[in-house]
Amino acid sequence: MSPGRFTIFAAKWISIAAGLAAGAYLLWIGYVFLASEAVIERRYTLPSSLIAASTDTDAIKRGRHLMTIAGCFGCHGDKLEGRTLTLASGMPISSGNLRALAASYSDADFERAIRRGLKPDAKPLWLMPSETYAYMREKDVEDIIAVIRAMPPEHATPKKLAFNWRARRAIVAGTLVPNSPEADEIVMPVDEGPRYEGGRYLATIACAQCHGGDLKGQGYAPDLDIALRYSRPQFFRLLREGRSTHGWLPVMSPLAVARFRDLKDYEIMALYDYLQARKSLPPYVDPDALLPRRKPAATD
């Protein structure tokens, strides 16, 4: 084969290879878009709700306390006007203007957003840490909604969520998932019995976002068995001032000022007692669960 014919032959196959590569790339782009779109557009089952927010002053005051320690103002802003946050994928996302949503959201809509991470159209919320609020008491949810209803309404168009290419790839890879947990996906701190239930409840709504649903730590946040190193006065100082036994903590200190300083003394004591029991006592077993079950009587 002459050099000229070889050059033409090589150029032909290079063109074919480049075309195949371009086609494969376009197919991959199409797959990522369609696969991520299926997750983005997924609808979940909307559970029924009997939530009814109160207008009582005490309920609103208590709701503000719960929203403070649970971190609601940190994400949605001091006036619940919403903030722009950034997902791990680098995608900016709005936490939602709750005062604007109050015009169209029913109390049931707010409850499903808080405890199930679902919008009224049954689509998921991508940033709401609903797994830590899934078992929040109904009265607490009602008091939180009461705070939203009591604030001056705001007329603003909700920002539409736009997924960039990096976010879509993260969805397909499974590293970016909506926070709309099913019941069997929710991890809870170990149950230490009725005596410690108040502290366990506080740990769930106030600590689990950073330390994990089982409080065993995740990312930069350690296992909360670290509480065993603190005396009761030291634990109070940790939550009120953000100071550990070794000094200031770069993450905990701002959280103590913004959230945990609002904890009542009895709440800190309950939380401390639970965290101590969590590592020093075996998990609680309901005595009724140990009783033998009677077989149903035979019928003719």
3-state secondary structure of 151: coil
Torsion over CA: 75, 79, 80, 83 (sign):
negative
pLDDT at 294: 59
Q: How many CA atoms lie within 13 A of 277 on its CB side?
A: 21
Instruction: Name every residue whose Cβ is closer than 8 Å to that of residue 171 and which is 6 or more positions away in sequence.
Output: 35, 36, 39, 40, 163, 177
pLDDT at 245: 80
pLDDT at 70: 95
CA distance 126 to 161: 9
Contact 184, 265 (CB under 8 A): no
92-94 and 243-244 beta bridge pairing: unpaired
pLDDT at 136: 94
pTM: 0.84
Q: Distance between the two ends of the chain, CA-based, in angstroms?
A: 95
Q: How many CA atoms lie within 13 A of 124 on its CB side?
A: 20
pLDDT at 197: 96
**Domains of the chain and CATH, by start:** 57-161+176-183 (1.10.760), 187-280 (1.10.760.10)
**Could you state, in chain order, the average pLDDT of each consecutive group of 10 residues for the chain (300 residues)?**
61 71 81 89 90 93 96 93 76 85 94 93 88 93 96 81 85 84 79 95 94 91 91 94 84 91 96 94 74 56
